[in-house]
């Protein structure tokens, strides 16, 4: 059966953008970004946002959707992404979901329901945040739901709080995110030698600094962005804000961004191992394999690792 959706995911710095653009050009596809930070306008350098030149004329959706001061939930992403996919399919084109935010991928593929919770539970979590602080709240989540904690960044207070609410409500993430998929999707995970990926991450961070990450964050703050808004809890932005506020030096800031980016890549790989997917070496020429699997779907085999 011809897939109705292609998913290209993987940890940061594995070439998802370049691969997806070439696949889209070959198949007549359009790309839906699956990156929880590229949705924010003006946050370009620290998110390694796809540039117009890199897009090569291929339409990209859910990039530059909201301002950094706005909150953008997974539930909203789910609604927006599915609407875009439906529109692309209606026009007879191939939707390609691209990015490394695992929760966003899950929200599209699976019938996840986003519930409202008892206000008493939410107040309890808010009080815990006041008493324990961000790190203490994250450690509490580690104690009651280590799987959920492994998928989250300690400074992402909103999602950490939400995960605790889910746990305290007697639910788990697994009850939501592993039902029968809504789409017949071909899923590809880009990976490779772990140390090589870490080295690429370090190099990317160095380029971000050279390209003006600090100046970008300063300009956003000067334009009225709250330096402690939800968007600025993202890796690279949180550390840069701390540097601007004098809490860390430049060398320490760069080292922290690299360390936390490597840790995030590790969490991404852990998350993605749950998918029925084809794992590809990011250094190989993978365009033809994906194209041929789309054209001849009988050759697509899930859980087939072709990393070498």
Listed residue (22, 34, 90) closest to 61, CA to CA: 34
Same domain, yes or no: 134 and 103:
no
Same domain, yes or no: 101 and 214:
yes
Give 91-115 pLDDT, tens digit per residue.
Answer: 999 999 999 999 899 999 998 776 6
Q: What is the CATH number of the domain that holds 149?
A: 1.10.20.140
**Final residue belonging to a domain, choices 145, 170, 195:** 170
pLDDT at residue 163 is higher than 80: yes
pLDDT at residue 215 is higher than 90: yes
248 in a domain, yes or no? yes
- What is the arithmetic mean of pLDDT over 73-91? 95
Full residue range of the structural domain in which residue 131 is found:
119-170
142 vs 194, more confident = 194
Distance CA 252, CA 154 (A): 18
308 in a domain, yes or no? no
Task: Say what the pLDDT of residue 169 is.
Answer: 76
Same domain, yes or no: 89 and 209:
yes
- Are the beta carbons of 188 and 9 closer than 8 angstroms? yes
Same domain, yes or no: 150 and 232:
no
Q: How many domains does the chain have?
A: 2
Same domain, yes or no: 66 and 90:
yes
The half-sphere exposure of 38 on its side-chain side, counting CA atoms within 13 A, is 20
Task: Say what the pLDDT of residue 174 is.
Answer: 44
Same domain, yes or no: 244 and 162:
no
Same domain, yes or no: 263 and 123:
no
Same domain, yes or no: 159 and 69:
no
Angle between helices 250-272 and 194-211 (to 10 degrees): 140
| Beta pairing partners, 29 | 94
Same domain, yes or no: 60 and 141:
no
Give 111-153 pLDDT, tens digit per residue.
Answer: 877 666 678 888 899 989 988 898 989 988 888 888 778 778 7
**How confident is residue 54, by pLDDT bands cut at 50, 70 and 90?**
very high
């Amino acid at each position: 059966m011809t897939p109705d959706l292609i998913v290209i995911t993987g940890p940061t710095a594995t070439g998802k953008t370049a691969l997806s653009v070439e696949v889209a050009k070959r198949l007549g596809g359009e790309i839906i970004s699956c990156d929880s930070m590229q949705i924010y306008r003006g946050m370009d350098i620290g998110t390694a946002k796809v540039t117009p030149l890199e897009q090569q004329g291929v339409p990209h959706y859910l990039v530059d959707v909201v301002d950094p001061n706005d909150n953008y939930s997974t539930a909203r992403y789910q609604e927006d992404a599915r609407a875009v996919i439906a529109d692309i399919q209606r026009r007879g084109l191939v939707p390609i979901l691209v990015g490394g935010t695992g929760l966003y991928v899950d929200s599209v593929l699976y019938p996840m329901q986003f519930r409202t919770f008892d206000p008493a539970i939410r107040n309890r979590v808010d009080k815990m945040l006041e008493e324990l602080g961000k790190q203490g709240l994250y450690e509490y989540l580690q104690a009651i739901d280590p799987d959920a904690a492994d998928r989250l960044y300690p400074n992402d207070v909103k999602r950490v709080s939400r995960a605790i609410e889910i746990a305290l409500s007697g639910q788990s993430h697994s009850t939501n995110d592993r039902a029968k998929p809504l789409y017949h999707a071909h899923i590809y995970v880009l990976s490779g030698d772990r140390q090589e990926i870490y080295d690429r991450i370090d190099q990317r961070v160095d380029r971000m600094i050279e390209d003006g990450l600090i100046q970008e964050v300063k300009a956003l703050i000067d334009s009225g962005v709250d330096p402690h808004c939800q968007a600025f809890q993202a890796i690279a932005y949180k550390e840069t804000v701390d540097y601007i506020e004098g809490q860390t030096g430049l060398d320490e800031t760069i080292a922290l961004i690299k360390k936390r980016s490597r840790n995030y890549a590790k969490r991404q790989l852990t998350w993605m191992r749950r998918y029925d997917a084809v794992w590809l070496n990011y250094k190989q020429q993978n365009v033809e394999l994906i194209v041929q699997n789309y054209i001849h779907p009988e050759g697509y085999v899930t859980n087939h690792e072709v990393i070498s």
